[in-house]
Amino acid sequence: MGQPAPVRPLAIRNPLLHARTGPGAALWRIVERRRAARAGQGRCDMDPANDSKRALQPSAGRPRSRVDAAGRGSPAGHPRLPRPMWVLAAALACATPTHAQTTVPATELIARAEQQRTADNAGFRASLAQLDASRQALTEPQKWHLRYLHAWQQDFGGDIEGAQRNLREIIAQAPDPLIRFRARTTLLNTMALTRHYEDAYRELDLLMQEMPQVQDLAARFQALAEAAQLMTAAGQYDLSLRFVDQMLANRPPGAGLCRARFNAEHARYRRGGLKSNDAGFAEAIGLCEAEGETGFANQLRCDIAEMLISQHEAAAAIVLLRRHLPEVERFGYKRQMAHFKALLAQALLAEGQWGAARSSALAAIDDGRGDGISEPLAIAYQVLYAVAHRAGNDTEALAWYQKYSEAERAYLDDASAQAQAYQRVHLRLAERRREAEALGSRNRILQLQQSLDRKAMQASGLLIALLLTLLASVAFWVFRLKRSQRRFMRLARHDGLTGIFNRQHFVECAEEVLAAASLRHEPACLILFDLDHFKQINDAHGHLVGDRVLRRTAEVCRQQLRRNDIFGRLGGEEFGILLPGCAVDTVMARAEAIRAAIASTSDERDLRDVTVSASLGIAGTRDAGYDLRQLMADADDALYRAKHAGRNQVVIASPFCDEPESAGAVSPAR
């Protein structure tokens, strides 16, 4: 035998993250089963001395070997049951001979079922049957919890389609966010198992969105572990490490550091640049060993062996792998066994140990037979091809090469499918998030705009109200001012006792009217009258009666006037009336009517004892012109003559005769 045939070094990857059965979670399940076994769950044997031995045996009742990153079988999987409680629950379960008991409260039964899932799947199914039988007595949240456990069992039993259907319904309908979250974690895992990577990444995104609402640390821990593994599988190592940080920050009480450190070191290794003597790896392995998590410790050793082989230190890799292979065999996780043996075969080949390499490769194929596509399988085929080629057995070499080629292509296709799926989903989600953020920004701007508009409207409303109030105040003030003005004007223009024009205003109005009449050449007459012997009335009846006579005189005169006639009290008991449009030939009749009306007041009840009469003098524009002073002088002259003629009569001024022209009957004084 000469030098070994050149073997193209494979970029060996950790089957925990690339196994057909999903990233690392099958190991997790086995680890949890061991932990459950240590706690005596599902078995009536609390002797720790027996636990490790039994736990290291592959479970005979396990329906399939595959990943369970959804926390199935984890004692920490039940959120409300801290470690001492599930030990107690296990002890309680041991105190009862059968799972078919009917007296166990539903809460306890559900807690027990949570613990039994992988550690005692038969017991778990019995607990589910018991819960089904007492379904009517369950609360609504308990019914949803039971449904979730059934879905989990469907998945565990291989009915992935049925499990996914139920998990989706739970996610859509369950009122409890924690159950929805756990269902999504399990769904995500089933998607990775069935290689629906895009769906898995999409679910992961939703899981991360729901994460802040989930208070349960165990559920968060499981989801974060799932996220870290998927991100490493997708080649997103930095993201994976960020999830690891979150795992460490969200560690449930009693949970160790091993799983987080395993994910961290594996992501660092996959990112590249590490050496086999990396201190972080040694520390993580020591930590996992201390926590009894030898499965994770050995998985990290696979990474170290790969590093050693690629550093051309195959002999060291052989030592490492051989030292821990018995432990791996005892642990019983076939995929890990296949991985160990494939790496050992590769290292032996590199060291020229053809026979040992061939045996180890065949053993790896045997262990990995049930897994379909896997990287250990490809490594093993490659080693067998190299050994056959080295031995000159071309037919066998070709056969192994074909198998190697198919396995490697299938594996690489699968790995690439994962990475591509991540990129596609990542891009779509990033796009959607950008759109959502843009929409959110737009909404915020709109809200701000609306709020500003509202405030502006409120401000303008207030301003309008203020202006209206101001306007109303001004209007009211103006109104009061006008009213006061009107009152003062009236007081200034009218006689306080009779209400008719006072002398001044009478003169002003009369002059205006005369001016207008002059322009139109219309006639006008002025009547001046004076109550007769008024002093006697005052003296005889008092000033109040005198005032009443004055008021009644004004009233009865007003009744005789037209709208445009101007009537005023010129002083004391003297009055003036300007009659625009009234010619001298008609004025006598009107003056006489006025005189008669004044005289008639004597007949009124309250003035029965008072003799009231007036003497009237008339002047017209025909003779006096339109000058008021002249008209007044003429009318006053006529009035004087009426007095002189015996009072209670009308005299019209006539420049053509010296004698007064009397009109109407001269009423004798009574």
Instruction: Tell me how far CA of residue 333 lies from CA of 57, 117, 294, 579, in angstroms.
Output: 9, 18, 11, 134
Q: How far is the CB of 582 from ligand GTP (least distance, A)?
A: 25
Q: Does 573 bind ligand GTP (CB under 6 A)?
A: yes
Residue nearest to ligand GTP (CB): 546
Tell me whether strands 614-620 and 524-531 are parallel, antiparallel or unpaired: antiparallel
CB of 502 to ligand GTP, least distance (A): 12
| Subset of 603-662 contacting ligand GTP (CB under 6 A) | 643
Of 333 and 575, which has the nearer Cβ to ligand GTP? 575
Look at residue 575 and give its three-state secondary structure: strand
Residue 303 or 532 with smaller CB distance to ligand GTP: 532
CB of 600 to ligand GTP, least distance (A): 19
CA atoms within 13 A on the CB side of 300: 31
Nearer to ligand GTP, 86 or 534 (CB): 534
Minimum CB separation of residue 650 from ligand GTP in Å reads: 15
Q: Using CB under 6 A, count the residues that bind ligand GTP.
A: 15
Calculate the CA 552 to chain-centre distance. 83
* Shortest separation between residue 550's beta carbon and ligand GTP, angstroms: 6
HEC string of 379-446?
HHHHHHHHHHHHCCCHHHHHHHHHHHHHHHHHHHHHHHHHHHHHHHHHHHHHHHHHHHHHHHHHHHHH
Taking residues 474 to 513 in sequence order and writing x for each that binds ligand GTP by CB under 6 A, - otherwise, the string is -----------------------x----------------
State which of positions 279-298 bind ligand GTP (CB under 6 A): none
Nearer to ligand GTP, 147 or 548 (CB): 548
Nearer residue to ligand GTP within complex by CB, 155 or 495: 495
CA separation, residue 484 to residues 478, 487, 489, 490, 496 (Å): 10, 5, 8, 10, 16
**4 touching ligand GTP, by CB under 6 A:** no
Residues 349-408 that bind ligand GTP (CB under 6 A): none
How distant is the alpha carbon of residue 646 from its chain centre?
104
What's the CA gap between 406 and 378, in Å, rounded?
8
305 φ, ψ (degrees, to nearest 5): -60, -40
- Cα→Cα distances 473→463, 464, 477, 485, 610, Å: 15, 14, 6, 18, 53
668 binds ligand GTP (CB under 6 A): no
**For residue 573, what are the CA distances in angstroms to 507, 521, 534?**
17, 32, 7
Q: In terms of CB distance, is 79 or 546 closer to ligand GTP?
A: 546
**What are the tokens at 435?**
């759109």
Cβ neighbour number for residue 569 with a 10 Å cutoff: 23
Please, what is the minimum distance in Å from the beta carbon of residue 590 to ligand GTP? 22
CB of 577 to ligand GTP, least distance (A): 18
CB of 630 to ligand GTP, least distance (A): 23
Show contacts with ligand GTP in window 340-359 (CB under 6 A): none
* 203 vs 573 by CB, closer to ligand GTP: 573
Rounded Cα distance, 501 and 509, in Å? 9
Closest CA to 69 of 19, 34, 24, 31: 24
CB of 548 to ligand GTP, least distance (A): 9
Q: Which of residues 228 and 550 has its CB atom nearest to ligand GTP in the complex?
A: 550
Whether the CA torsion 339, 343, 349, 353 is positive or negative: it is negative
Q: Cβ of residue 583: shortest distance to ligand GTP, in angstroms?
A: 29
Q: Which is nearer to ligand GTP, 48 or 572 (CB)?
A: 572
In the region spanning residues 520 to 559, those forming contacts with ligand GTP, defined by CB under 6 A, are 530-535, 538, 543, 546-547, 550
Backbone conformation region of residue 144, classed left if phi is above 0, alpha if psi is from -120 to 50, else beta: alpha
Which residues of this chain interact with ligand GTP, rule CB under 6 A? 497, 530-535, 538, 543, 546-547, 550, 572-573, 643
